[in-house]
């Protein structure tokens, strides 16, 4: 299991477009993905679940990845977060 915390830098936080990009990219992997904000934990492959967290710009979220391809999945997540989910300029 791998856990990593990220600060969300998207100006509108995790809204529909970046969440859709995330879910589309990681859904093809076998590992399970959970996203935690404060005491709430949701399925990282569920668009609606992630949107319920209402993650705003500057907030921290923890990604928890577990499975046979967990390192590859975390690399994808890290890339998406660092590039603002490819939805706005860096």
CATH number of the domain bearing residue 66: 3.30.1340.10
Q: Which alpha helices (DSSP H) does the chain contain, by range?
A: 16-26, 47-52, 70-82
Which domain, by its residues, includes 40? Answer: 2-86
Neighbour order of strands in the sheet with 2-7: 2-7, 60-66, 32-37, 40-43
How many domains does the structure of the chain reveal? Answer: 1
* Set 9, 15, 25, 83: catalytic member: 15
The mean of the pLDDT values for the chain is 97
Summarised one tens digit per residue, pLDDT across range 46-79 is 999 999 999 999 999 999 999 999 999 999 999 9
Whether 83 is catalytic is: no
pLDDT of residue 90 exceeding 90 = no
């Amino acid at each position: 299991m791998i856990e990593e915390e990220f600060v969300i830098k998207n100006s509108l936080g995790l809204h529909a477009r970046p969440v859709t990009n995330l879910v589309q990219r990681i859904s093809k992997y076998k590992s399970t993905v959970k996203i935690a904000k404060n005491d709430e934990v949701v399925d990282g492959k569920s668009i609606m679940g992630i949107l319920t967290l209402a993650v705003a710009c500057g907030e921290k979220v923890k990604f928890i990845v577990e499975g046979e391809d967990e390192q590859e999945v975390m690399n994808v997540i890290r890339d998406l977060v660092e590039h603002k989910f490819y939805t706005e300029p860096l």
